[in-house]
Structure 1
Amino acid sequence: MTDEIPASGRQFEIAHGDAHAVITEVGAGLRGFHVDGVPYSETYEADRPAPAAAGAVLVPWPNRVADGRWSLEGEPQQLALTEPERGNAIHGLLRHIPWTVSEHTDSTVLLHAMIPVQPGWPVPLLTSVEYSVDEHGLTVRHTVENLGSRRVPFGLGVHPYPRAGHAATDECTLRLAASNVLPLDGERMLPSGPPRELAGAEQQLPGGLALRDVWLDTPFGGAAPAPDDPAGLVRHSVTDPNGHGVQVWADPVFTWVQVYTAGEFPGRGRAVAVEPMTCPPDALNSGVDLIELEPAGTWSARWGLRPLG
């Protein structure tokens, strides 16, 4: 008799020096990242599914599609309503399936999964994600290849919960490299108007917003590298009162970032998700910042976590 497979599937560990990460087979998600025993992402038990989409890869769209409906070249498409209480399709098609490992070394693991033609998605895509750790932290590279015979739009996002070591979330400060916010309706969490400038407490986000008593489930746009950034990367961060914490960096194609404050993350309580996205919610309908992939075309981009302080 074999051991029972955990709810998140087999676990793939990678390490370099004191840096260590755990990746799940189901959803190819990040289940944990720490350096010298200091946690820089929230974690959860392997015998339960990822809570609140923790660590998930969101492809071929991040966030929500209203009514699960969109169209490709005038052809109506109907996705399954995976958020039935709000009547939306949410977070893509690969969160709950096992991915296949293509390569696994001490410090790197590469997984891939197929998005086949199915109701609501008429073009097959091959996706892969490579996690690697080194002396700088965790780097994640996503690749999407169009295996079909027609052009298809898509988006990609990720759902990490960065953590400033052992500090409580309410002791931490959030910084975002974003310049605007997309308003949502409060009932279905769908766009209710065009992006607007940061206002009120949101104006503190570029310089640092204290997270105590802050509740967000909000997409921010205009995420861009600082003009003097030598690597040309988008950089968000969560830090403790001493400036120690973690940076969530991303290639410039991740012009959006969703921030979600969870009230009851298992074993943690308050936690914050900082989710780089290539497009906003309901982009399959609005068309905003979608990536157009030609037949046989390939797209790739990176993001990662880097300890600070």
Structure 2
Amino acid sequence: MPDGARPPRGSGALLAPWPNRVAGGRWTWQGKDQQLALTEPAAGNAIHGLLRQSFFRPVARSESSVTLEAIVPPQNGWPQPVRVAVTYSLDDGLTVRTEATNEGTGEIPFGLGFHPYLRVGDTPTDDCTLTLAARAALPLVDQLPGGPLEPLPADHPLRAGALLQGQRLDHAFGDCEPGVAHRLIAPDGSGTELWTDPAFRWVQVFTPDDMPGHGRGVAVEPMTCPPDALSSGTDLVVLAPGESWSASWGVRPVREAPRR
């Protein structure tokens, strides 16, 4: 990217203290109504947490890793400070470990997500096959939950492996199977898999057409909670004052049999 340019389409963004959207930016915590800034103004929602515009400072580094840290300060719609430290490590792939600590005087909920795009070298996205570890789909209406989880059978294309050509996705999935990774596979069998700790029970898949230099892209976004979780409470972690929580995910190369 040119100096000073933002990564396109949220590439690589850390989404905390909640991922995805909060409907109308409104939620309630311990009997008090909260109103977040509407950072998705066209739709009237708060989106992807409170750290996307924040500066992270390096607090540790080695030849193969770096740890960055930022604080979510108290503000309109968010009553307690949360410190978020993320460590990026390179080994046989990339491992991303995040630790969140409640720095406030009262309990606070927490959710986490990331916004990575997967690629297999220079293979066009439309030539690749995507396989998800999710066992259910979350119906969305205007990108917010529109009904209960719907089971995805084992032979569903996105569980068995779906060619991305012709797919237009901006969909949420849940009940991710522990120990099973999401995979993007090229026709020759080379691929990239995104593995997660069991805490990441949700995933959003997004296929924009306008990734600079690449056209179509595919974001596979691991999330610890679903869209609008601050309102529903689904799968939120509640941190007591001084309490910490951590979870990891990563990407690594894989190989399967070539596609026939």
State the TM-score, normalizing by the size of structure 1: 0.80
Tell me the amino acid that sits aligned with residue 53 of structure 1. G
Residue 46 of structure 1: CA displacement? 4.4
Equivalent residues of 1:137, 1:307 under 8 A apart? yes
Residue 178 of structure 1, aligned match among 126, 129, 134 = 134
Please list every run of at least 4 consecutive aligned residues from structure 1 whose deviation after the TM superposition is greater than 4 angstroms: none
Q: Secondary structure at the match of 1:179?
A: strand
Distance 1:189 1:301 in 2: 25
For structure 2, the residue ranges without an aligned partner over 5 or more in a row are: 256-260
Deviations 1:133-174 (A, max 9, x none): 01x111000000011121111100000001011110000000
Residue 295 of structure 1: CA displacement? 1.1
Residue 259 of structure 1, aligned match among 187, 202, 205 = 205
Residue 103 of structure 1: CA displacement? 1.4
1:194 aligns with 2:140: no
Distance 1:298 1:46 in 2: 35
Cross-structure match for 2:175: 222
Cross-structure match for 1:132: 89
Q: How does 1:157-168 map to 2 (within 5 A)?
A: 157-168=113-124
Distance 2:155 2:143 in 1: 18
Cross-structure match for 1:64: 21
Distance 1:70 1:197 in 2: 28
Distance 2:144 2:203 in 1: 15
Query: What count of residue pairs does the alignment treat as equivalent?
Result: 255
Residue 184 of structure 1: CA displacement? 0.7
Cross-structure match for 1:145: 101
Change (3 A) 1:86 1:171: same
Cross-structure match for 1:239: 185
For structure 1, the residue ranges without an aligned partner over 5 or more in a row are: 1-43, 226-232
Residue 234 of structure 1: CA displacement? 3.9
Deviations 1:252-301 (A, max 9, x none): 01000000001111111000000000000000001111111111110001
Equivalent residues of 1:256, 1:280 under 8 A apart? yes
Q: Secondary structure at the match of 1:206?
A: helix
Distance 2:81 2:180 in 1: 30
Equivalent residues of 2:70, 2:85 under 8 A apart? yes
Equivalent residues of 1:171, 1:212 under 8 A apart? yes
Residue 86 of structure 1: CA displacement? 0.1
CA RMSD of aligned residues (A): 1.4
1:52 aligns with 2:9: yes
1:73 aligns with 2:30: yes
Change (3 A) 1:45 1:160: farther
Residue 112 of structure 1, aligned match among 69, 77, 86 = 69
Equivalent residues of 1:61, 1:157 under 8 A apart? yes
Q: Secondary structure at the match of 2:120?
A: coil
Distance 1:235 1:74 in 2: 39
Equivalent residues of 2:152, 2:159 under 8 A apart? no
- Give the % identical residues: 52
State the TM-score, normalizing by the size of structure 2: 0.95
Equivalent residues of 1:141, 1:301 under 8 A apart? yes
Equivalent residues of 1:234, 1:252 under 8 A apart? no
Distance 1:48 1:251 in 2: 32
Distance 1:206 1:123 in 2: 39
Q: Secondary structure at the match of 2:216?
A: strand
Q: Secondary structure at the match of 1:271?
A: coil
Distance 2:162 2:112 in 1: 26
Which range moves more in the overlay, 102-111 or 267-276? 102-111
Distance 1:66 1:198 in 2: 26
Residue 236 of structure 2, aligned match among 290, 302, 305 = 290
Equivalent residues of 1:142, 1:300 under 8 A apart? yes
Equivalent residues of 1:114, 1:125 under 8 A apart? yes
Distance 1:46 1:224 in 2: 40
Residue 198 of structure 1: CA displacement? 2.6
Distance 1:194 1:217 in 2: 17
Residue 202 of structure 1: CA displacement? 8.5
